[in-house]
Amino acid sequence: MRGIFGCVRMAEKFLPHYAEGEVVKGFGRGSKELGIPTANFPENVVEKLPADMPTGVYYGWANVDGGEVHKMCMSVGWNPYYKNTKKTMETHIMHKFQDDFYGSRLKVVMVGYIRPMSTFASLDELITAIKNDISESDRKLEEPKMQHYKVNNFFASS
């Protein structure tokens, strides 16, 4: 098995990765109920991920319908709905939105990798892990080299 640093190096080969597409309905796994909603990309966007890019938790920047650019944390994982033959990209934007934005155009740039996917013994452990991912993303995105991706033509153009 590859250690965590090996995974990070593997993932970094594919970064930054830019993606954009419509926000679609996810699988109702209740992310919002946990206070951590994740906006899902449709299949055609997920398919553009390089095949060798590791699954796991990434962080970066995102905007919705050309709006303000916010920090984000994203999980790239295997989709149980398709018997783990397809991937999902689920983006939690670190901003409080007034309303849902299904059907909107989501743009993201993935700039860093935190950890591979793992299974958790309990829901509490899962929530703790996600909260750690969010605070680590928050901290890493303060670094000057990461801030530079926030101010980017990609987000300005429609």
Binding site for Mg ion (CB under 5 A): 26, 31, 38, 40, 90
Identified catalytic residue from 20, 90, 136, 143: 90
9 binds, among ligand ADP, Mg ion, none (CB under 5 to 8 A by kind): none
How many angstroms separate the CA atoms of 70 and 93, rounded?
7
Closest approach, Cβ 39 to ligand ADP, in A, equals: 4
Whether omega before 16 lies within 30 degrees of 0, making that bond cis, reads: yes
102 binds, among Mg ion, ligand ADP, none (CB under 5 to 8 A by kind): ligand ADP
How many angstroms separate the CA atoms of 106 and 37, rounded?
14
Query: 29-58: which residues touch ligand ADP (CB under 6 A)?
Result: 29, 31-32, 37-40
State the alpha helices, DSSP H only, in 13-102: 43-46
Nearer to ligand ADP by Cβ, of 97 and 120: the residue is: 97
List, in order, residues 6 or more apart from 126 with CB less than 8 Å away.
Answer: 120
134 binds ligand ADP (CB under 6 A): no
Question: 91: which 2 tokens?
Answer: 């983006």
90 in catalytic set: yes
27 binds, among Mg ion, ligand ADP, none (CB under 5 to 8 A by kind): ligand ADP
Listed residue (72, 56, 97) closest to 19, CA to CA: 72
Question: 103: which 2 tokens?
Answer: 């059907």
Residues that bind ligand ADP (CB under 6 A): 23, 25-29, 31-32, 37-40, 92-93, 95, 97, 100-102
Which residues are identified as catalytic?
A: 90
